[in-house]
Structure 1
Amino acid sequence: MAAVSPPTPPQQQRCVVEVREGVELTEKEERIFRRLLDVVRHFGLGTQLRVAGGWVRDKLLGKDSTDIDIALDNMTGQNFCEKVNEYSELLGEEQKGIGVIQCNPDQSKHLETARMLIFDIWIDFVNLRSEKYAENSRIPTVEIGTAKEDAFRRDLTINSLFFNINTNTVEDLTGRGIEDLKKGLIVTPLPAKATFLDDPLRVLRAIRFAARFNFTLTEDLKDAASDEKVKSELGSKISKERIGHEVDLMMSDKHPVNAMCYIRDLGLFYVVFAFPEKPDPPVPDKCDRLCVSHIEVAWNLAHSIGCSVFSGGSDSKSQDEHRRLCFYSALFTPVRNTIYLDKKSKKIPVTNYIIRDSLKLKASDADTVVNVHAASEKFAELINLLESNENLTTVKEKLDDEYLEIPTDSVKRVLAGLILREIKDFWRVALFICTLTYPEVSSGGDPLGQPDELHQRKEKYTRAERLITELELDAVWKMKPLLDGKAIMGIMQVKGGPLIGKWQQRLLKWQLAYPRGTTEECIEWMKQSQSKRQKV
């Protein structure tokens, strides 16, 4: 299993950012850039090649990046790619396919982009551009621009840096990109309010980068982000898909709690996470603070427990998915029992609405979070059994029926097994949310200031996880029934119907209660039960 680093606590004290004096190229980057310069020189194109934005920022921070976007000053990306292929043909090399991404304003693609594979790295090519925005639209009028115009139209100063391939130098055309990077500041190149009114999605991008790098939003930027008109424009101009994409990037990144705290503190919570009409029960006052308090506690609890919470998957990608959905589950825990009526008067969890309709994320994400919440409620019964056997008789009576009596010492195994069969490999996440939920998290408390409570929650989780592991229940959802429906019909001497489904569930409990039981023993138990049923 791939190793997963445990999360680090949020709201760390910010340190001085180490920024390199220049960009250090890898051997492959040098090879790529040398080839591009050869193309310019061979054909006499006179093109200035600039790597733009995030790659430059990350390189100056000493981070690796393969996200190379190249801005061209005198030709289209497609034309340049064609020249690259023409040069490759002269060298007797295989030509590469050119992908052209048409402009798509709804996806923040305002100018055509060409893409091609150069020495096994995908490179994007686009024109330098300037943008002008109309009053009621986030879709700008785009024109070919200068490098300076292109730098100033970008969202943040730290994303406005260029690396000029021709001169091998970093260009800071806003005059403050490098300084803001060193100070750890999130600043817009132009006045923040005008920048956000032009494209309100930039508010969320500012929050995402502030959270990712643990940088500080300037007061001017925070005032603009919390401006009522900016909030209104964010809700009306920006598609839910784009908002959901930015939120999902935050939740998948290193510091999702910091991002959610910014969203709460800037008064953006109900804009980003839109609720349905007439939820039942009504959404509580300060629901935004309650939700963020839960993800704060979840973050600290996960840090205390370690990476095992997200170890349901067998690879790092799967573990990242468990982590992401775990924090969504934590964030929406306060509304886990809140429903609304859809157009067909069907009761739908509010969490389902927020994820599917408000954020437009995958239906499977919504289903998983709803299932995690449901399983977490059931886990509460198991945790109560671990802390006290007072409820053992009550739980046993719920599991027993006239044909199957669960041995007292197997009650915990049967209960836990049934829960795991429903939630499958997300069982650790559901158990984690359960320990987060009981006792309830207060919206007024400081989760960092309650080490005793954090320790108690950790103990609840650890005790239950240990029990499940010791009972050999991990992956119990893969357990195959000893008898299929046809075999059950033969033993019970019936042709089908709802009775078979009941016996299949009963058989599952029997297998959980008797994990070493054989098929023969199972058949014998069912025959005795059949005899008992006929006598009745």
Structure 2
Amino acid sequence: MSARIFTDKLMEYLVESDLLSTGITVVRNLKQVGAPCIILSGKSVYFLGIKAGTYTGSAQSCVMERPYDSEDLYHADLTINSLVYNINDSVVQDITGRGFDDIKNRLIITTSLPPLSSILKDPLIILRSIHFASQLNFTLDEDLMRAGGDTRLRRELCSRVSRERINREVSLMLVSKHPVMAMKYIEEMGLFRVVFTFPGNSDHPIDDHCARSCIATLEEFCMLLDSIENSVFSGNIDQRADHRLICMYAALFLILSEAVYMDQNDEKASVACFILSGTQLISGDIEFWPFKTFDLYCFEIGCFDT
């Protein structure tokens, strides 16, 4: 049974049971994920049949080829995502035999199939893996780490995955519980200059040393935040999540805040603002406000004296 048919049958049941008044809304023809969605009490619930899918062309989306069967669970991006809840028997099934162990050990996030073949088929898997690891404090599997450093993956990420999708995963990493862990994984795999866009003629070397220095600055900032209680970053965090994300980006690239490059008009421009504009999160006068926001946050939580 496809996800669409299942959702339609669920809707029939909800209508017959007069349950639609409980805050359930159906979003039809959801292009972003190609799946039906029910909004339940303000939360989006997507109905996805696990299918064998491949990227084609520029890979802005994944082409699904056939309906789900148990073998398709081996094509899930991660073992922890291959677990399914059997609504008939009310049990969680681990078809691959690895999902439960990976969650129990909190040590491995790995693809169900050989990592390199999986991530070359779907390059975004490597970024999702890092995101989950940084959010759940898991350790990436060594084979997955080696696969993530393959030069072919860098080419695939650049050519087949949209900047929007890359930015989304990186932003989730930066607002996760362990953003520094995520950035270190990215640097270790040689993906720092893939997930972030840099100008080609910066007066500051954009190399591995620069990447490690950026991460070290972010780490110092996060350590400082962890040591401060009753700040904007502890409690009521969701109210200013967008500010927090921008602040994390600004902290990451703080060492480049004074670096410049020659733009297309042969004028000096900010390297850091070039990078931040590439995240597609920055609007308005980006020449100063991300770092002004960063300074204001530091002042607010007592990092700087007046």
TM-score under structure 1 normalisation? 0.51
Query: Which amino acid in structure 1 is aligned with residue 189 of structure 2?
Result: L
Q: 1:115 aligns with which of 37, 41, 46?
A: 37
* CA gap 1:165/1:319 in 2 versus in 1, 3 angstroms: same
C-alpha separation between the residues in 2 aligned to 1:319 and 1:137? 33
Alpha carbons 2:204, 2:256 under 8 Å: kept: no
Aligned pair count reads: 303
Structure 2 SS opposite 1:308:
coil
What whole-Å deviation, never above 9, does each CA across 1:92-119 have from its counterpart, x for those lacking one? 5658653223455xxxx3xx31123457
Q: Which residue of 2 aligns with 1:68?
A: none
- 1:152 deviates by 1.5
Structure 1 SS opposite 2:65:
strand
Q: Which residue of 2 aligns with 1:367?
A: 286
Alpha carbons 1:276, 1:340 under 8 Å: kept: yes
- Find the structure with the greater CA-based Rg: 1
Q: Percent identity?
A: 35
Alpha carbons 2:28, 2:36 under 8 Å: kept: yes
Matched, 1:98 2:26: yes
TM-score under structure 2 normalisation? 0.85
C-alpha separation between the residues in 2 aligned to 1:118 and 1:289? 43
* CA gap 1:245/1:98 in 2 versus in 1, 3 angstroms: same
Q: Which residue of 2 aligns with 1:179?
A: 101
Matched, 1:242 2:165: yes
Q: 2:9 aligns with which of 79, 83, 86?
A: 83
Q: Which residue of 1 aligns with 2:297?
A: 429
Matched, 1:216 2:129: no
Structure 1 SS opposite 2:28:
strand
Matched, 1:152 2:71: no
Structure 2 SS opposite 1:348:
strand
Structure 2 SS opposite 1:187:
coil
Q: Which residue of 1 aligns with 2:223?
A: 300
What whole-Å deviation, never above 9, does each CA across 1:419-451 have from its counterpart, x for those lacking one? xxxx6xx65425489xxxxxxxxxxxxxxxxxx
Structure 1 SS opposite 2:231:
helix
Alpha carbons 1:275, 1:350 under 8 Å: kept: yes
Query: Which amino acid in structure 1 is aligned with residue 297 of structure 2?
Result: V
C-alpha separation between the residues in 2 aligned to 1:211 and 1:249? 9
C-alpha separation between the residues in 2 aligned to 1:319 and 1:93? 34
Matched, 1:345 2:263: no
- 1:132 deviates by 4.2
Structure 2: give runs of 5+ residues left out of the alignment: none
Q: Which residue of 2 aligns with 1:498?
A: none
C-alpha separation between the residues in 1 aligned to 2:242 and 2:59? 35
Q: 1:130 aligns with which of 32, 44, 52?
A: 52
What whole-Å deviation, never above 9, does each CA across 1:26-77 have from its counterpart, x for those lacking one? xxxxxxxxxxxxxxxxxxxxxxxxxxxxxxxxxxxxxxxxxxxxxxxx2442
- 1:89 deviates by 4.1
Alpha carbons 1:128, 1:144 under 8 Å: kept: no
What whole-Å deviation, never above 9, does each CA across 1:204-254 have from its counterpart, x for those lacking one? 111111111111111110000011111221122211111111110111111
Matched, 1:354 2:272: no
Q: Which residue of 1 aligns with 2:254?
A: 333
C-alpha separation between the residues in 2 aligned to 1:363 and 1:266? 30
C-alpha separation between the residues in 1 aligned to 2:228 and 2:14? 54
Matched, 1:198 2:121: yes
C-alpha separation between the residues in 1 aligned to 2:41 and 2:230? 36
Alpha carbons 1:128, 1:150 under 8 Å: kept: yes
Alpha carbons 1:352, 1:367 under 8 Å: kept: yes
Structure 1: give runs of 5+ residues left out of the alignment: 1-73, 376-422, 434-457, 469-536
Q: Compare 321-330 and 233-242 and name the one that shifted more.
A: 321-330
Q: Compare 149-158 and 84-93 and name the one that shifted more.
A: 84-93
- 1:160 deviates by 1.3
Q: Which residue of 2 aligns with 1:266?
A: 189
Structure 1 SS opposite 2:289:
helix
Query: Which amino acid in structure 1 is aligned with residue 157 of structure 2?
Result: L
Structure 2 SS opposite 1:123:
strand
Structure 2 SS opposite 1:305:
coil
What whole-Å deviation, never above 9, does each CA across 1:254-295 have from its counterpart, x for those lacking one? 111110111111111111122112113444661011101111
- 1:191 deviates by 0.5
C-alpha separation between the residues in 2 aligned to 1:279 and 1:348? 9
Query: Which amino acid in structure 1 is aligned with residue 264 of structure 2?
Result: K
C-alpha separation between the residues in 1 aligned to 2:67 and 2:223? 47
* CA gap 1:236/1:97 in 2 versus in 1, 3 angstroms: same
* CA gap 1:75/1:264 in 2 versus in 1, 3 angstroms: closer
Q: Which residue of 2 aligns with 1:321?
A: 242
